[in-house]
Structure 1
Amino acid sequence: MGSHRLPQTTAYVRITNQSWQQGKIAGEVRANQFEWQFEWCFRRGELSVEPSLGRALIKEPLNRFLEQRDYQLEPGSDYSFTIRGEV
């Protein structure tokens, strides 16, 4: 009886910058061989991720992670979360 669950990938997040005045959190996220820079304008709910290669895979799960954890995120700290599916 094989289960038909999707493979899972762990994404690693490092917060590099945070400004409550500007309403922004910035950082980098890695998953497998990919690496992206992101900036999240939490007051507007806008997340930008660069470079574009592989962005479609990370943007939605990263957005969910940031929304759930926003007040706990600190610059210089490392976090991780699981992505369902392969990156």
Structure 2
Amino acid sequence: SWQKGTIEGEVTAGNFEWQFQWRFTAEKTLILEPSQGRALIQEPLHRFLEKWDYQLEPGGDYSFTVRAQF
């Protein structure tokens, strides 16, 4: 809801799936559930949303690359 200042969606990576809510009004906040594997995706997703939130379209599919070393 652009009027409420939020974007909601889902992220999938391998066998993981998360639901997120990005609040981009005064204080930018990212809520990501469930907690399992959240540390892998939270920071890259936050950076992606900060950069592209005004260019995202409702119902669109988007992709981004997470680079990590284990």
> Normalising by structure 1, what TM-score?
0.75
Amino acid at match of 1:22: K
> Normalized per residue, which structure has more strand?
1
Alignment coverage as a number of residue pairs: 69
Structure with the greater alpha carbon radius of gyration? 1
| Mapping of residues 4-83 of structure 1, within 5 Å | 19-43=1-25, 44-83=27-66
> Normalized per residue, which structure has more helix?
2
Query: Greater RCO between the two (CA within 8 Å, min separation 6)?
Result: 1
| Structure 1 position 46, deviation (Å) | 0.3
Amino acid at match of 1:46: T
Which whole-Å CA distance do the structure 2 matches of 1:22 and 1:35 have between them? Answer: 25
Identity of aligned residues (%): 66
Runs of 5+ consecutive residues of structure 2 not aligned to the other structure? none
Off by >4 Å, runs of 4+ in structure 1: none
Query: Cα deviation per residue 1:31-83 (whole Å; 9 max; x = unaligned)?
Result: 11100000000112000000000001100000000011011111110000000
RMSD: 1.4
Runs of 5+ consecutive residues of structure 1 not aligned to the other structure? 1-18
> Normalising by structure 2, what TM-score?
0.92
